[in-house]
């Protein structure tokens, strides 16, 4: 049973993948610390400026330079540099609710729980986005996505095999494997994430694209092949968007 690995006062490690986020990354680090409390911040970065890197390091961030903008690979590398028994995976354009750290510890302290995620809201209102936000209440493993801030116990993460180097659906893949290790739970508070990718491509068009790609993924199509279909916005999501 992969639960109870840490007392609720222990430090979390939050892993933030980033690609060309610039000052937004520094904002994300500060916001994560405010929401999570005592937390180790690990940034898995690709093509960030030396100024951003140096400022983050000066602020105590564990900085990991990654060989390519592949979010699954970046998250795996970040997790390998984290030192805490409880891991939080946060996108650079997502913001956690107040007291998120306490909510994560409370969820992971429950018997049999190995991980979970928050509900979702967007920073822009639109019927398609509202539908996605509503769907984030579902507890099926396939509904636990990266932009909802996934979290888990390290032992369960390792037992599940960790993130695979997928450029797309790395979050769904891990959630499905975690669900075979222990129970996944949904925190009833919401993470607020950027709607920029949906607004760039059109909310309904992006919603349909995501649904088709998700279906293809579950029928066995390679995530790398799907990422090519997802382009040109794959550049955006490699660091911070959601599938």
Strand partners, 117: 186
Cα 21 from Cα 26, distance rounded (Å): 9
Q: What SS3 class is residue 122?
A: strand
**Summary mean pLDDT of the chain:** 89
- pTM check: above 0.75: yes
pLDDT at 137 > cutoff 80: yes
Identify the pLDDT of residue 8. Answer: 43
- Rounded to the nearest 5 percent, the helix, strand and coil shares of the chain are 45, 20, 35
The band of 242, judged by pLDDT with boundaries at 50, 70 and 90, is very low
Cα 231 from Cα 63, distance rounded (Å): 28
- Nearest residue to 42 via CA among 73, 10, 24, 18: 18
pLDDT at 110 > cutoff 90: yes
Q: What SS3 class is residue 174?
A: helix
Please say whether the beta carbons of 191 and 118 come within 8 A.
Answer: yes
Range 118-129 average pLDDT = 94
- CB count within 10 Å of CB 155 equals 17
pLDDT at 232 > cutoff 60: no
Two tokens, residue 104: 């994560």
- CB count within 10 Å of CB 143 equals 17
Identify the pLDDT of residue 227. Answer: 85
pLDDT at 131 > cutoff 70: yes
Cα 195 from Cα 61, distance rounded (Å): 27
Query: C-alpha distances in angstroms, 4 versus 115, 156, 195?
Result: 11, 11, 35
Min mean pLDDT across 64-68, 79-83, 220-224, 227-231 is at 227-231
Indicate the DSSP class of residue 37.
Answer: S
Range 28-53 average pLDDT = 95
Min mean pLDDT across 31-35, 53-57, 92-96, 197-201 is at 197-201
Give residue for tokens 């302290």. Answer: 109
pLDDT at 236 > cutoff 70: no
Give the total residue count for the chain.
243
Percent of all residues in the chain with a pLDDT value above 70, rounded to a whole number: 91
Identify the pLDDT of residue 1. Answer: 37
Min mean pLDDT across 99-103, 121-125, 212-216, 228-232 is at 228-232
Identify the pLDDT of residue 233. Answer: 46
Identify the pLDDT of residue 243. Answer: 37
Q: Kindly report, residue by residue over 1-16, the tens digit of the pLDDT.
A: 344 444 444 689 999 9
Q: Kindly report, residue by residue over 140-198, the tens digit of the pLDDT.
A: 888 889 999 999 999 999 999 999 999 999 999 999 999 999 999 999 999 999 998 89
Please say whether the beta carbons of 16 and 4 come within 8 A.
Answer: no
């Amino acid at each position: 049973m992969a639960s109870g690995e840490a007392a609720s006062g222990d430090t979390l490690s939050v892993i933030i993948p980033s690609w060309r986020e610039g000052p937004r990354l520094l904002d994300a680090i500060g916001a994560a610390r405010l929401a999570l409390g005592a937390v180790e911040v690990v940034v898995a970065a690709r093509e960030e400026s030396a100024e951003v890197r140096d400022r983050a390091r000066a602020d105590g961030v564990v900085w990991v330079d990654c060989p390519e903008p592949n979010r699954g690979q970046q998250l795996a590398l970040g997790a390998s540099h984290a030192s805490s028994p409880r891991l939080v995976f946060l996108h650079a354009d997502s913001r956690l609710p107040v007291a998120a750290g306490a909510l994560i510890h409370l969820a992971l302290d429950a018997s049999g729980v190995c991980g979970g995620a928050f509900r979702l809201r967007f920073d822009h209102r639109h019927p398609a986005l509202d539908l996605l936000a509503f769907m984030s209440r579902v507890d099926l493993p396939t509904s636990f996505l990266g932009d909802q801030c996934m979290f888990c116990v390290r032992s369960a993460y390792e037992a599940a095999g960790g993130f695979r180097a997928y450029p797309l659906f790395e979050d769904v893949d891990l959630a499905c494997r975690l669900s075979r290790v222990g129970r996944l739970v949904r925190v009833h508070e919401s993470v607020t994430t950027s709607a920029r990718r949906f607004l760039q491509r059109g909310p309904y068009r992006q919603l349909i694209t995501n649904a088709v790609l998700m279906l293809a993924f579950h029928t066995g199509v390679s995530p790398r092949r799907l990422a090519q279909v997802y382009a040109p916005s794959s550049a955006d999501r490699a660091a911070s968007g959601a599938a």
